[in-house]
Structure 1
Amino acid sequence: MNVEHGSPSRAHPVSRRSFLRGAVVGGTAVAALSLSQIPRARAEVTEERHRAVVVGTGFGGAVTAMHLGRAGVQTLVLERGIRWPTGPNSETFPHMLQPDRRMSWLAPAPVMPGVPPLPTEPFTGLIERIPGNGMDVMCGAGVGGSSLTYHGVTLQPEGRYFAASVSESIDYDLLDADHYRRVERMLRISTIPDDLLGHERYRSSRQFVERAAAEGYEPVRSPMCIDWDVPRRELTGELKPSYTTGDVIFGANNGGKFSVDVTYLAEAERTGHVTVAPLHRVNDIERAPDGTWIVHVDRIHTDGTVLERKRILTPSLFLGAGSAGTTRLLVKARARGLVPDLPEGVGTGWGNNGDRVFAVTTPLLSPGDHQGGPACVGARDHSDTAGPVMIISGPVPFPLDLGTTTMIGLGLVEGRGTWHYDAVRDDAVLNWDQTYDRELTRAIEERIRRIAGPAAVVIDINAVDVNTFHPLGGAPFGSVCDDAGRVHGQRGLYVVDGAKVPGSTGACNPSMTIAALAEYGADDILRRDFA
């Protein structure tokens, strides 16, 4: 691959143009290169040098890349997945009830709960499921990370809950006045307008609001990074339905979602100082005797075949691979002696953000078929002395009205999970005990049952399929890194994603807080470390 700002020592025989043709996704398109044409990795390793390297393109990595680019720092951004360009009437993303290989990261079948488990060919798809002891972690893959597949809900916690769950030492008032507002502007946050919420497609959302208010909870319209003109155009027939049928869990095919690939990363690339390298999977990080950081990378095909092995050298390494990705790299580096003096806290402080998903079937209420989305309404309850709870209505794209919808609960949970190194797997493995969030789960279920009504059937989906989409921690503030994300005792090593947040983000989904903390950290790092 011809890297604009790198200095590769060897060229690879597959040209950049022919390789990228194999990374384009549209419908169920396959890579242009056949398996017989794919070169296997050679014994020798290509070496590159870059002023700064960012691992991952989610909220933390994308924000960091933009600030490095604006500061004129030549930066390489490594992303294991592909680009997912979308737009009006595209078929870039898969449909929930029509499984295909785009759904999952190099897996033989879909990994998302609720999707028909039909076999598929391995592909560098959208979601990876990382098995753990007591909890599995669902991680996004692709340029844009988990912002590609999340509904777009962008919640900011109150100051008291930020201090209780994220950090007591970071100035929340400064974040509120500056860094959260930057995220709000960049992601173009707004709430669902009256005309859409009043439409028949959004019946389930209106029912939720009415029931929550009747039970004394505070109904809210979720701030979202959505261009609401796109669902309007779907309702007029100008665009094929996507938002308005709730079929957005694997991405919004009509565009209109201000995910980080089209906001922060696009701005980073426009500076001319940032290069994003898709299909580059980071396996290990290492510190050389002179303090240089070595990133061991495989450039891969969309079927997972290794095309080229790389050693990428940099004085400044930013880990933004998400809580699970960043933590696994750090735990492996410590256990294998690649970075032997990493802080003792590596692998600790992990939590699931208090997530819980429930299926709710109400025989006396008809939420409708193809329930309009994304998850645009919710309800708060701050009355419990045990902590706040947020319930979000989750519309589902069922083709028939089964009387069923979903509700998602969020709350405060301690970061008591840990990751340990498994030498057989050569990987870090999560350990989580169900007792850690049992009381919170009861509190969430109690509120959902009240909102659903006495005749409703409420099923705890996570009791059957234990997983989370909001992993946090593994390299937490204090024990592993400072408030800006600098890893203690490791010059030039930074954590810029949810791995530094110990467990939960104040009864809100984490995206806005991760992005605001990355904005905050970038200010300090560029001022003090790159002056």
Structure 2
Amino acid sequence: MNAHQSLSRRRMLGLAALGAAALAGQSTITAAPRAAAAPAAGVSDGTFVPAVVVGTGYGAAVSALRLGEAGVSTLMLEMGRLWNQPGPDGDVFCGMLQPDKRSSWFKTRTEAPLGSFLWLDVANRDIEPYAGVLDRVNFDQMSVYVGRGVGGGSLVNGGMAVTPRRSYFEEVLPQVDADEMYSTYFPRANSGLRVKNIDRGWFEQTEWYTYARVGREQAAKAGVGTTFVPNVYDWDYMRREADGTVPRSALTAEVIYGNNHGKVSLDKSYLAAALGTGNVVIETLHQVKTIRQRSDGTYLLTVEQKDDGGKLLATKEISCRHLFLGAGSLGSTELLLRARETGTLANLNSEIGGGWGPNGNVMTARANHVWNPTGARQSSIPALGIDDWDNPDHPVFAEIAPMPAGLETWVSLYLAITKNPERGTFVYDAAKDRADLRWTREQNAPAVAAAKSLFDRINKANTTMYRYDLFGKRLKAFADDFCYHPLGGCVLGRATDNYGRVTGYKNLYVTDGSLIPGSIGVNPFVTITALAERNVERIIREDVKDSHRD
């Protein structure tokens, strides 16, 4: 059996395990562990596991798969739930147009990025607090969207699988061998994520991408090019959606609150394969609160288990030899900040919390002429990006985003990714026991200026104007107070060595987007995945080896 066949078999075993857990309503997900030291289903207080991975996002999923393949018994701790069980309406996820409690992480009202239409709050609903799939973490002058559940951000993003421009990757992470990344680890990541390209013939004729073709034509009038963007959505499934032969997902306005069909999120790729090794167990609704190191060098985690209504069920102490933090830029940074400032990991260096950025994220929208409709029927999965990254003054890569309202709006919507050099810092707020972000709105001025430079040119070439009614009650053309792409906080080569080993502590690793210093120029999850592949390969070879058998 070759490597591809072996991975496919593991994925099928893992998918079966996920299905069985959902049918049984279990919070523990396992696929018949084979290793003698594999953690038992329903991890209890006092359990020791050779390796713990905190989180189930991109870097965490890579780490778990490769550890499992290496025969290392591994426990993943996920604060969200498993999204694999239909609700009363028969769907796992709710849609964007009629959100319910499944949409949001313990909110009383949804907090959609498009907060208004004609200054009316038509997108949001009052809801019951619940362990929903999307969280908006609000700081003083910046909010961050993150996914909650088995699969992390892969559950709620648009699936745009973009490999960064090599020249910019080398600028951002000069200590990483770019030859190695682009020849080995980016291809490995794209294969593991099951990235695919849209059929261009279908794209050119389908009504579902009228909005994208309009955006392309209007960019071209300004002399700006576009590029097709790969995705983890199953494009063949989307074509069947359009033909009416399968249930719709992308074509019925599903994305930020999860896709019921079509998207190959991590629970269908890396995580399924990890479970299929038989050496990985996922405990859901388990949140790590504190980390400390014991005298023998192992790590002791205090973990809270809750139900999906937020009720505390148990507090457990779980220990491990190798600890991988994959809780994302916000989660991993907060855990380490808390440990440093409370003294449980007092030797952590001053770089923890630094180098944070929103990947230059800015949203904007334009009002088209009546003879340029964007379509009442729009796929929620983006397929094109405006590529003005070579602009010497204001580099921008802008996703031509959908606005699937179910009616004609004549709106062109964009998520711009800009080269903003500004960085924020996380600090520990002892009174609130949380990480607080030091970031001001003024720090996003370079990002707004870059986006404005591009879209001013597009507006001028098409005699169009901005929409000022979509981002709240004020007249506002640019949404600069939230982001989808949080990066940094535990920067590679500063808070860690060049492979994610946390400075000052043996067998403690960071494996997620907090390693990237604030910006990567495109949607970042392929880079996070590839970097994790690079790092964990070295860590398993040099650190883990046979130590889990001791």
Q: Same fold (TM over 0.5)?
A: yes
Q: Secondary structure at the match of 2:400?
A: strand
Tell me whether 1:169 sits opposite 2:175 in the alignment.
yes
CA distance in 2 between counterparts of 1:383 and 1:426 reads: 43
Task: Provide the C-alpha distance between the structure 2 equivalents of 1:207 and 1:271, rounded to a whole number of angstroms.
Answer: 46
1:269-295 deviations in whole A, cap 9, x for unaligned? 110000011111111212223322111
Provide the residue aligned with 2:539 in structure 1: 525
Instruction: Return the letter of the residue paired with 1:483.
Output: N
Query: Per-residue CA shift, 1:438-485, capped at 9, x if unaligned?
Result: 123211122124335322324484856711111000111122011210
Q: What is the rounded CA distance, in whole Å, between the counterparts of 2:26 and 2:111 in structure 1?
A: 24
Distance 1:19 1:422 in 2: 41
Structure 1 residue 386, shift from structure 2 partner: 3.6
Residue among 255, 268, 271 paired with 1:265: 271
Q: Distance in 2 between matches of 1:369 and 1:397?
A: 7
CA distance in 1: counterparts of 2:281 and 2:167, whole angstroms: 39
Residues 57, 144 of structure 1: 8 Å contact kept: yes
- Aligned equivalents of 2:280, 2:144: Cα separation in 1: 30
Quick check: 1:348–1:415 contact (8 Å CA) kept in 2?
no
Cα shift at 1:188: 2.2
| Equivalent residue, structure 1, for 2:481 | 466
Deviation track 1:224-270 (CA, whole Å, cap 9, x = no partner) reads 1121111111111112332124432222212x222111110111111
Q: Per the alignment, in what secondary structure is the counterpart of residue 429 of structure 1?
A: strand
Equivalent residues of 2:359, 2:419 under 8 A apart: yes
1:456 counterpart (458, 462, 465): 465
The one-letter code sitting in structure 1 at the alignment partner of 2:127 is T
**Secondary structure of the corresponding residue to residue 267 of structure 2:** coil
Cα deviations across residues 405-431 of structure 1 (Å, max 9, x unaligned)?
311100222362001111110111111
Q: What does 1:24-423 correspond to in 2, within 5 Å?
A: 46-85=45-84, 91-114=91-114, 116-165=123-172, 167-193=173-199, 194-254=201-261, 256-364=262-370, 365-386=372-393, 388-414=395-421, 416-423=423-430
Q: Distance in 2 between matches of 1:129 and 1:336?
A: 26
For the residues of structure 1 that align with 2:421 and 2:339, how far apart are their CA atoms? 25
Assess, with a 3 A threshold, how the Cα gap between structure 1 residues 146 and 17 changes in structure 2: closer, same or farther. closer
Higher mean C-alpha deviation, range 305-314 or range 414-423: 414-423
Kindly state the Cα deviation for residue 18 of structure 1 after the two structures are TM-superposed.
11
CA RMSD of aligned residues (A): 2.2
Indicate if the aligned counterparts of 2:363 and 2:416 stay in contact, CA closer than 8 A.
yes
Question: What amino acid is the match of 1:525?
Answer: I
Task: Report the equivalent of 2:32.
Answer: none
Structure 2 match to 1:35 = none
SS in 2 for 1:253: coil
Task: Call closer, same or farther: CA 1:170–1:86 in 2, change over 3 Å.
Answer: farther
1:21 paired residue number = 25
Per-residue CA deviations over 1:277-321 (Å, capped at 9, x if unaligned) read 111111121222332211111111000111111111011110000
**Cα distance in structure 2, aligned partners of 1:86 and 1:240:** 16
Runs of at least 5 residues in structure 1 that lack an aligned partner in the other structure = 1-15, 25-44
TM-score (norm 1): 0.88
Offset, 1:435:
2.6
Preserved CA contact (<8 Å) 1:86 1:253 = no
Cα deviation, 1:173-196, whole Å, max 9, x if unaligned, reads 110000000111122222221214
Shift of 1:170: 0.4
Q: 1:511: which partner in 2?
A: 525
Runs of 4+ aligned residues of structure 1 deviating over 6 Å after TM superposition are: 16-19
Aligned equivalent of 1:486: 501
Residues 233-242 or 123-132, more deviating: 233-242
Cα separation, partners in 2 of 1:415 and 1:62, compared to 1, 3 Å? farther
Gaps of 5+ in 2: 1-19, 29-43, 116-122, 546-550
Q: 1:241 to 1:232 in 2, by over 3 A?
A: same
Q: Distance in 2 between matches of 1:412 and 1:227?
A: 30
In structure 2, distance between residues paired with 1:310 and 1:18 = 23
Say whether the 8 Å CA contact 2:375–2:408 is kept in structure 1: yes
1:430 aligned partner = 437
Q: Separation in 1 of the partners of 2:114 and 2:166? A: 36
Q: Closer, same or farther in 2 for the Cα pair 1:17/1:250, shift >3 Å?
A: closer
Name the CA distance, whole Å, in 2 between partners of 1:325 and 1:19.
29
8 Å contact kept, 1:159–1:173 = no
Deviations 1:339-377 (A, max 9, x none): 111011011100000011112221332101131230111
* Distance apart, 1:131 and its partner CA: 1.8
The residue type paired with residue 510 of structure 1 is: P
Contact 1:111 1:127 in 2 (8 A): no
Work out whether residues 69 and 272 of structure 1, in 8 Å CA contact, stay in contact via their aligned partners in 2: yes
Shift of 1:160: 1.4
